[in-house]
Structure 1
Amino acid sequence: MSGLSLVLLTVLMVASGQMTQTLYVPAMGDMAAALQVAGDSLPLVMAFYLIPYGLFQFIYGPLSDRFGRRPVLLVGLSVYVLGSALILAWPVFPMLLLGSFIQGAGTAAAGSLCRSLMRDKFEGSDLVRYNGYVSMGIMLAPLLAPLIGGYLNLHFGWQSMYQFLLAVGLLVTLVMVFWFRETLPAERRHAQPMLPAYQHVLHNSAFCRQLGMLMAAFAGVILYEAVFGVLVSRQSGLTSTEISLLFVLPLPLYFAGAMLASLKAASWSINRLQWISTVALLLGASIVLVSAFKPDLSVAGLVLGGSFYFAGAGILFPVATSKAVAPFPQHSGTAGALLGGSSNLGGGVFLLVQGALPQMNQSVLGGLLLAFAGLVAWLLIPSSNALPEPGI
């Protein structure tokens, strides 16, 4: 399987999960009304998806190191399809939460493996470059999802979005059955128990720093995605389709950041790329926060600040992921599970916590984004003199 084929299949395997995360964002207000729940309850759907999406990666990763990537992936995709079917069978809010939980538990397999497949095949600056390609491809799904979700909700109702997800899940499963080939040969697998495998990876202090940076930046992205639709609908009279158009505006900047990481992987140091990403994160958070105090510019500031924040995340994610998994050729599934599982679990738990806050407005969002960006900078400082140039 060529590098390009592997990138395309990797992007496809995570497409359903990425679309599940953002498809309904522009329809949150309409969904809340249809399900007869408060609008502030809708971010719980994302939390119920992200928590199992993070937790089950801790299981899928080590299992894929032992049994191979293909069987683990196919089991996970089948579970995802089950979750989508349950939501359609019983379209009530409690089942929406349960079905989202099952969806997350299933697609966690793809979320975990997308970080280890590239490590199975590439090393050094090539690893950063191909991880950048994957990040660019993966961003196409959440770029299209809100547009599709806004259209489906407007013309066919909120349940049509989950019919679409069920169809995508079935299609992806069939493609993987017929075209995906094992990337981890039997001679490179190991039978080490899960706990020692995780201890082996976590013993690496550089890995822990990269993990912390990824978790902080990802929490900001997830929070922005979860509350964007609610904030814009509260501050304007836009329809779900119009909100979806605003929602996708920052996403091409993520694409551009990942492209920059791919193009400069062989000539710029990891340290340089990570500091550029950190500056973009800090700038974006500051714009969101400052514009919150100017009502006429609040929505524009939310979109512009989100664009800079997403650009920084687009650079950071492939670079930090590559730096983290590079030392673990035989434990890349475990390392990938820690990266993806911790980020998504942390994001889901944070959404539950923020749901208990007295209020969520743009100033609170901007302050939290600034705190996450500051944490990325703080974690990057100790490793500034320890990163090789160029590449990994």
Structure 2
Amino acid sequence: MSGLTLVLLTVLMVAAGQMTQTLYVPAMAEMAADMRVSASRLSLVMACYLIPYGLFQFIYGPLSDRFGRRPVLLSGLLVYVLGSAVILYWATFPAVLIGSLIQGAGTAAAGSLCRSLMRDRFDGPDLVRYNGYVSMGIMLAPLLAPLIGGYLNQYFGWQSMYWFLLAVGLVITLIMVAFFRETLPPERRHMQPILPAYKYVLHNPSFRRQLGMLIAAFAGVILYEAVFSVVVSRQSELTSAEISILFILPLPLYFAGAMVASWKAASWSVRQLQWLSAMGLLIGAAVVLLSGFNGQISVAGLVLGGGLYFAGAGLLFPVATSKAVSPFPYHSGTAGALLGGCSNLGGGVFLLVQGGLPEMNQIVLGGLLLAFAGLVVWFLMPQEQALPATGL
């Protein structure tokens, strides 16, 4: 496979998971009413998806280092299809939660491998550049998903969204069977047990810092996605279609951040790119927070601040991922599993905790985003790991 083909297939393999995460966001109020639960409890759907999505990556990653990427990927996609079928068969709130758990357990395979496949083929600035391309492509699914979800919910009801996900999962599985070729040759596989492999990767202090930054930034992105619809719908008269349009407005700035990472990979140091991303996170969080102090929701502040935060995250994710997996040519599956698993597991656990907060409004959202951005800066502070002028 050429580099471009691998990027396209990598984007496609994670598309179902990315769409699952955001497709139902515009329909949260209608889903809650139909299933007779409070709208705030719908954040549990995303939590039930993210927690197994994170946990199972810890299994898929080392298995792919041992047996190869292709069998692990195809097995995960089939599990995802099963989860979509469970939701459609029962269509109750408990079934949605159980089906989301199964979906997350399935798409964890693609979530883990998308951080390993580029390392199988590239290193140095090329690794940052191609990870940037993957990050740009990955954002197409969550960019389109709320629009598709809003339309399907408005005209066909919320269950049609899961029929759509079932069809997408089946199509992607068939495409991978036909076109995806193994990227990890047998001579580069290892039989090291799972726990020693994780110990080996975590022993690297630079890896731990990149992991901390990714967890913090991702938690902010997930929080924004999970509560945006609830915060806006409570304090405005907007329809689900209008909310879906507002929801996706920040996403192109994530795309722009990833584009900067690809363009500047050969001329800027990783540290320079990461400080730029941290500034985007901080400024975006501050805009969300400060614009909410006028006593009522500021949709413009939410969208603008969210956009700046997403721009910082879009720049940080490919750069930090590349820096983290670069030292591990024989353990990239394990390293990728730690990055994806910890990020998504941390995001899911935080959503469970957030669901217990007495109130979620724009000020609380902005304050939490600012705390996550501050954590990214904290992980960037050590100077002894500064990188050379360019490259990894």
Report the TM-score range of the alignment, normalised by the length of the smaller protein: over 0.9
Q: Which runs of 5+ in 2 are unaligned?
A: none
Which position in structure 2 is the counterpart of 1:199?
Answer: 199
CA contact under 8 A between 2:50 and 2:347: conserved in structure 1? yes
CA contact under 8 A between 2:150 and 2:240: conserved in structure 1? yes
SS of 2:200's partner is helix
Which position in structure 1 is the counterpart of 2:358?
Answer: 358
Cα shift at 1:387 = 1.4
**Structural RMSD (CA):** 0.8
**Amino acid of the residue matched to residue 154 of structure 1?**
Q
**Amino acid of the residue matched to residue 99 of structure 1?**
G
Cα shift at 1:389 = 2.0
Which position in structure 2 is the counterpart of 1:223?
Answer: 223
* 1:21-36 equivalences in 2 (<5 Å): 21-36=21-36
Which position in structure 2 is the counterpart of 1:255?
Answer: 255
Which position in structure 2 is the counterpart of 1:331?
Answer: 331
Cα shift at 1:391 = 1.6
How far apart, CA to CA, are the structure 1 residues paired with 2:293 and 2:157? 35
* TM-score of the pair, normalised by structure 1: 0.99
CA contact under 8 A between 2:232 and 2:297: conserved in structure 1? no
CA contact under 8 A between 1:206 and 1:383: conserved in structure 2? no
Q: Which runs of 5+ in 1 are unaligned?
A: none
How far apart, CA to CA, are the structure 1 residues paired with 2:383 and 2:85? 46
Which position in structure 2 is the counterpart of 1:273?
Answer: 273
Which position in structure 2 is the counterpart of 1:319?
Answer: 319
How far apart, CA to CA, are the structure 1 residues paired with 2:197 and 2:187? 17
How far apart, CA to CA, are the structure 2 residues paired with 1:185 and 1:260? 32
Which position in structure 2 is the counterpart of 1:19?
Answer: 19
SS of 2:358's partner is coil
How far apart, CA to CA, are the structure 1 residues paired with 2:311 and 2:297? 21
Which position in structure 1 is the counterpart of 2:96?
Answer: 96
**Amino acid of the residue matched to residue 6 of structure 2?**
L
**Amino acid of the residue matched to residue 33 of structure 2?**
A
Which position in structure 2 is the counterpart of 1:150?
Answer: 150
* 1:121-140 equivalences in 2 (<5 Å): 121-140=121-140
Which position in structure 2 is the counterpart of 1:310?
Answer: 310
How far apart, CA to CA, are the structure 1 residues paired with 2:99 and 2:354? 22
SS of 1:260's partner is helix
Cα shift at 1:383 = 4.1
Cα shift at 1:293 = 1.1
Instruction: Determine what percentage of the aligned residue pairs are the same residue.
Output: 78
Cα shift at 1:294 = 2.1
SS of 2:387's partner is coil
Q: 1:171 to 1:238 in 2, by over 3 A?
A: same
CA contact under 8 A between 2:47 and 2:349: conserved in structure 1? yes
How far apart, CA to CA, are the structure 2 residues paired with 1:388 and 1:100? 43
CA contact under 8 A between 1:270 and 1:319: conserved in structure 2? yes
How far apart, CA to CA, are the structure 2 residues paired with 1:259 and 1:274? 14
How far apart, CA to CA, are the structure 1 residues paired with 2:383 and 2:20? 35
CA contact under 8 A between 1:286 and 1:305: conserved in structure 2? yes
Which position in structure 2 is the counterpart of 1:284?
Answer: 284
**2:119 aligned with 1:119:** yes
**Amino acid of the residue matched to residue 293 of structure 2?**
F
How far apart, CA to CA, are the structure 2 residues paired with 1:51 and 1:181? 29
- Aligned length, in residue pairs: 392
**2:170 aligned with 1:167:** no
Which position in structure 2 is the counterpart of 1:87?
Answer: 87
**Amino acid of the residue matched to residue 176 of structure 1?**
M
* TM-score of the pair, normalised by structure 2: 0.99
